[in-house]
């Protein structure tokens, strides 16, 4: 004795195909498209109490590849010392130059005072 098919043949085609079956875009394709084109998600959250604005949070999220972000003029990670070794090195070079400048001025002041005190 065979068990009857749970779904009649005319209804079985109405159910969605399982993930990974042919015809649809897979996750890699979707991710490639998103990174190639970029996606912007923006939103604001406001908390009011009796028509008094207590808090406003503005959310801006951009998902894009590095190349696409540079195309759009977004490259803040290149100048952030916490994210870029080149930016960290540039910051240290600038700080070093400032310290050398301060040291030179202090040495000039010291030699000027030493000349004034000499009989």
Query: Which pLDDT band, with edges at 50, 70 and 90, does 100 fall under?
Result: very high
Measure CA of the first residue to CA of the last residue in the chain; give whole Å. Answer: 124
- pTM of full prediction above 0.85: no
- Residue 3's φ and ψ, nearest 5 degrees, are -85, 140
CA 71 to chain centre: 15
Cβ(30)–Cβ(39) below 8 Å: no
User: According to the model, what pLDDT value does residue 11 have?
Assistant: 47
Contact 62, 74 (CB under 8 A): yes
């Amino acid at each position: 004795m065979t068990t009857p098919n749970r779904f009649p043949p005319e209804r079985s085609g109405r159910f969605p195909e399982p993930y990974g079956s042919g015809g649809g875009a897979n996750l890699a394709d979707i991710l490639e498209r998103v990174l190639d084109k970029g996606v912007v998600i923006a939103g604001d959250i406001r908390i009011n109490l009796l028509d008094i604005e207590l808090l406003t949070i503005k959310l801006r999220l951009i998902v894009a590849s590095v190349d696409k972000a540079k195309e759009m003029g977004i490259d803040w990670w290149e100048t952030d010392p916490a994210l870029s070794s080149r930016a960290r090195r540039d910051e240290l070079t600038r700080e070093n130059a400032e310290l050398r400048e301060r040291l030179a001025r202090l040495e000039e002041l010291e030699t000027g005072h030493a000349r004034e005190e000499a009989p």
